[in-house]
Amino acid sequence: MIGGQALRALGTMSGTSLDGVDAAEVVTDGETIAAFGATAYRPYSEAEREVLRGALGRWPGAAGVAGAAAVVEAAHAELLRRFGGADVVGFHGQTLAHDPAAGRTHQTGDGARLARALGLPVVWDFRSADMAQGGQGAPLAPFFHFACARRIGAARPLAVLNLGGVGNITLVDPARDRPEEPGALLAFDTGPANAPLNDLMQARRGLALDAGGALAAEGRADAAILARFAAHPWFDLPPPKSLDRDAFAFLVAAVADLSDADAAATLTEAAAVAVGRGLALCPVRPERILVTGGGRLNPVLMAGIARRADCPVAPVEEAGLDGDMLEAQAFAFLAVRVLRGLPTSAPGTTGCRAPVSGGRISRP
């Protein structure tokens, strides 16, 4: 790559909700977004989800991990072969375990094997370098959020809230010159979002999610459970901070005796409580909150967040962005930054000691 030449990058995301793989093209020099390109989605089959669920919480070499890696690599290769003309792939892999307190994280899927399968350079293992510098290794989309804020012409601080399996928020000051500049970004995980609810729906109804918040809308949230949840010491920890998908697994146990509808309502409201607690940690009030990820499609969850925010809350589509593909686009963008040796995280996003350019590059 020569200087700041724009490349056609393909990014992928297989999130903690275990629904499938997103892929998206971004034309970028790693600093600005020249264009968004094609997108595609490949759902996991129920059999594949079972393999992935069986490996959650496990570290390299543990039982079930090799099978999960094979599922992840095959699904990504199948999806990415639908695209043509890419210069580089940003491959996040599937997070199975994340333990920032111990300085370790596990995203399964081998980028070198994917590079050989696709005949393209693949940037992967985005988190390890950050964690080696004392960072949380997550979240990693904030540098892309900074570029998006610039692209949509934002002039004042805004927040990008991602509601995947875990929720995370990025406070962006687009008036800063670079994303690694102090004050440009503050990012952290807010707490559980869709993961407990999805697990409940799978266990009780055999469904992947509460589509449109329909079940939650029929129930009443349990105030006592929510009070215990809101008192969890996690919410008082200063950012940056990050969570494992199952860090709040006790929530599903807590609603075991509730009806399906009341349990769904309680878990949905818990995700909104977590966001509210997170907003209280932001040093600057955002002008607006743009919501991405599957949770933005749940009107019950969105209403719960709106009640706790003192600014407008809207899906990112209202700003011309794609809430289904924002994280996949982020890893396309980050792949080009890695090729250029530019930082992909900073003290304000992960708590690392200094800006870090993370990611391994594997060539076919």
pLDDT of residue 243: 83
Alpha-carbon distance of 224 to 306, in angstroms, equals 22
Alpha-carbon distance of 205 to 198, in angstroms, equals 10
pLDDT score of 246 more than 90 = no
179-221 pLDDT per residue, tens: 999 999 999 999 999 999 999 999 999 998 999 999 999 999 9
Better-scored residue on pLDDT, 243 or 183: 183
148-163 pLDDT per residue, tens: 999 999 999 999 999 9
Give the rounded percent of residues in the chain with a pLDDT score beyond 90. 90
pLDDT score of 308 more than 90 = yes
Mean pLDDT of 137-144: 94
CA angle 120, 121, 125 (to 5 degrees): 130
Mean pLDDT of 308-335: 97
Helix (H) or strand (E) holding 59: none
Q: Where in the chain is the domain with CATH 3.30.420.40?
A: 7-139+323-362, 154-319
The answer to whether 208 and 201 have CB atoms below 8 angstroms apart is yes
pLDDT of residue 32: 97
Q: State the pLDDT confidence band at 165, using cuts at 50, 70 and 90.
A: confident
pLDDT of residue 1: 42
Detail the DSSP E strand segments found in 51-131: 88-90, 94-99, 104-108, 122-124
**Residue listed under structure tokens 């215990």:** 228
What are the structure tokens assigned to 89, written together?
């792939």
State whether CATH 3.30.420.40 applies to domain 154-319: yes
List for the chain the helix, strand, coil content (%; round to 5).
Answer: 40, 20, 40
Query: Residue 360 burial by CB count (10 A; 0-12/13-18/19+): exposed, middle or buried?
Result: middle
CATH number for 7-139+323-362 (one of 1.10.287.110, 3.30.420.40, 3.30.465.10, 3.90.1150.10): it is: 3.30.420.40
How far from 199 is each of 86, 270, 304, CA to CA, in Å?
36, 14, 20
Contacts of 355 (CB under 8 A, 6+ apart): 180, 343, 345, 346, 347
pLDDT of residue 3: 53
pLDDT score of 135 more than 60 = yes
Closest alpha carbon to 275 in 256, 250, 252, 298:
298
pLDDT of residue 249: 82
50-79 pLDDT per residue, tens: 999 999 999 999 999 999 999 999 999 999
pLDDT score of 16 more than 80 = no
**Residue listed under structure tokens 């870090």:** 356
Contacts of 153 (CB under 8 A, 6+ apart): none
